[in-house]
């Protein structure tokens, strides 16, 4: 069985279960590099087995089987069922591939097993488990990551060389790569993935270093990637409590960014920061200017983010009705677009107003659903927010003991952003005092 056959079987198996192929997970399941996978996919295209309409950047691609590819996939599948129905590993472990193919679970997991027992003919179950465990772990975080990086911008390649020349203003030691070495879009994507993971896990220094390294590769960056990295870097600076400097940097970059969607992303981030600085009216104007640009159809992720954060602003102004309306709209779009991480954020926000309005069980249900999603994403900061809001729900129930327990648990993830941690402390104490009265 050739390696192309295993890849073709994998593609066919995935397309029976979903519409898009995640190239990262496919390569991870097969245990091969992105370059090797691209070579195999090119051969399959040349042999008229698949058609690929995927973009250059990003792991999700529209890959379709041709008529020849569909025929070959069914032949490979039948061959696996008939000729390789059982494979015996060491320690007496038996894998029945035919049963897996007839009643499949996650296709990416099946590909890993088939590749090991059919192509590699490995005799170690540990190797199979190690690889599948690795790609499952990465997939948990990638659910969050793909929602963020999957934002689609329709812009041409655009370099901001004159802005990057001032990169020293970021205050980071840029990790320069060898200019003689070509940096692929896949390299860039992997680096951003690592940076996002590090930032959500609280390792700000690591995240800053990676963002700086990516930003130094101006030759291979288009405007989409540049803005994504820049906003990630700004969020790191905010976590270091450099809010004023972050706003100054955003203002500087907004002067040279021309695309309305990119400018809206920067305005949204500025609004987030100045809202925390107490400049509510200015933040509100910025959020509304973003909503005027970001359509639900073309920019669902950014629109959801603005709706969520504008809702926070209204709640801080004690306008529960407006906050609830915005969060419900965000939740509706997130469900429509099947964005689980965004669903969890809207659910956490809604839980607070539900509990304040006496709808305790609805609040608890929203937080439990959010927790399941965030556990799958591996988002520790998000789980901290669930615990904090659960503490507020317990206060509304009059259960002070459980409220303190959840509040302490929320602090197990050390929030580096002092304004957020201070606000949580203030809100919690205020709610506690209200039930003591």
For domain 3-140, the CATH architecture is Orthogonal Bundle (1.10)
Whole-number Å distance between alpha carbons of 41 and 259: 34
- The pLDDT score that the predictor gives to residue 198 is 81
Q: What is the pTM of this model?
A: 0.61
Least confident of 109-123, 139-153, 159-173, 365-379: 159-173
Q: Assess contact for 21 and 63: CB atoms under 8 A.
A: yes
- 323-354 pLDDT, tens per residue? 999 999 999 998 988 888 889 999 999 999 99
Q: Which residues contact 164 (CB under 8 A, 6 or more apart)?
A: 215, 216, 218
pLDDT in tens, 396-409: 988 899 999 999 98
The average pLDDT across 39-55 equals 82
Kindly report which listed range (151-165, 243-257, 266-280, 303-317) carries the lowest average pLDDT score.
Answer: 151-165
- CB environment 387-404: b (16+ within 10 A), e (fewer): bbbbbbbbbbbeeeeebe
- pLDDT band for 162, please (50, 70, 90 cuts): very low
Higher pLDDT, 48 or 136: 48
Q: Does position 289 have pLDDT exceeding 70, yes or no?
A: yes
Q: What is the pLDDT of residue 347?
A: 95
Of 28-37, 83-92, 98-107, which gets the smallest average pLDDT?
A: 83-92
Distance CA 214, CA 172 (A): 12
Per-domain residue ranges of the chain: 3-140, 151-258
Q: How do residues 194-241 score in pLDDT, each as one tens digit?
A: 787 787 777 888 888 888 777 766 555 667 777 778 888 888 888 888
Residue 288 has pLDDT above 80, yes or no: yes
pLDDT of res. 348? 94
Q: Which of 164-178, 260-274, 357-371 has the lowest mean pLDDT?
A: 164-178
Band of residue 388 on the pLDDT scale cut at 50, 70, 90: very high
Measure CA 398 to chain center.
36
Cβ atoms 374, 140 nearer than 8 A: no
Residue 290, phi then psi, degrees to nearest 5: -65, -45
What is the rounded radius of gyration, in angstroms, for the C-alpha atoms of the chain? 24
Task: Convert 259-298 to b/e letters by CB count within 10 Å (16 or more is b).
Answer: bebbbbbbbbbbbbbbbbeebeeebbebbebbbebbeeee
Please, how many CA atoms are within 13 Å of residue 92, restricted to the half-sphere of its CB? 0
Residue 5 has pLDDT above 80, yes or no: yes
Report pLDDT for 230: 83
* Whether pLDDT at 188 is above 80: no
Contacts of 80 (CB under 8 A, 6+ apart): 9, 97, 98, 101, 114, 118
Q: Which residue has the higher pLDDT, 435 or 70?
A: 70
């Amino acid at each position: 069985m050739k390696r192309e056959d295993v890849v073709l079987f994998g593609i066919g198996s995935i397309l029976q279960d979903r519409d898009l192929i995640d190239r990262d997970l496919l390569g991870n399941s097969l245990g091969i590099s992105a370059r090797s996978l691209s070579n195999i996919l090119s051969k399959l295209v040349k042999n008229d087995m698949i058609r690929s309409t995927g973009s250059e950047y990003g792991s999700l691609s529209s890959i379709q089987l041709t008529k020849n590819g569909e025929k070959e996939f069914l032949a490979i599948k039948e061959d696996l069922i008939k000729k390789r129905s059982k494979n015996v590993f060491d320690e007496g472990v038996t894998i029945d591939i035919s049963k897996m193919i007839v009643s499949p679970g996650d296709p990416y997991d099946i590909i890993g097993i088939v590749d090991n027992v059919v192509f590699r003919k490995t005799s170690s179950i540990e190797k199979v488990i190690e690889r599948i465990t690795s790609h499952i772990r990465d997939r948990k975080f990638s659910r969050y990551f793909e929602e963020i990086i999957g934002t689609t911008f329709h812009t041409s390649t655009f370099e901001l060389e004159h802005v990057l020349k001032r990169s020293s203003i970021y205050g980071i030691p840029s990790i320069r790569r060898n200019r003689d070495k070509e940096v692929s879009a896949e390299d860039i994507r992997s680096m951003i993935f690592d940076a996002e993971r590090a930032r959500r896990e609280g390792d700000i220094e690591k995240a800053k270093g990676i963002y700086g390294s990516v930003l130094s590769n101006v030759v291979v960056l288009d405007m989409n990637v540049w803005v994504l990295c820049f906003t990630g870097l700004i969020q790191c600076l905010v976590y270091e409590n450099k809010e004023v400097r972050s706003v100054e940097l955003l203002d500087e970059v907004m002067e040279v960014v021309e695309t309305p969607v990119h400018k809206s992303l920067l305005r949204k981030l500025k609004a987030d920061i100045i809202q925390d600085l107490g400049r509510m009216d200015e933040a509100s104007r910025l959020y509304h200017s973003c909503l005027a640009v970001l359509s639900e159809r073309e920019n669902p992720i950014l629109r959801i983010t603005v709706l969520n954060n504008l809702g926070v602003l209204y709640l801080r102004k004690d306008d529960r009705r407006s906050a609830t309306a915005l969060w419900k709209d965000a939740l509706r779009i997130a469900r429509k677009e099947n964005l689980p991480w965004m669903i969890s954020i809207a659910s956490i926000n809604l839980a607070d107003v539900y509990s304040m309005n006496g709808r305790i069980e609805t609040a608890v249900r929203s937080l439990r659903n959010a927790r399941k999603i965030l556990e799958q994403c591996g988002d520790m900061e998000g789980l901290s927010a669930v615990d904090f809001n659960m503490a507020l729900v317990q206060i509304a129930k009059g259960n002070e003991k459980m409220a303190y327990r959840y509040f302490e648990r929320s602090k197990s993830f050390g929030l580096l952003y002092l304004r957020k941690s201070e606000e949580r402390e203030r809100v919690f104490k205020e709610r506690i005092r209200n039930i003591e009265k």
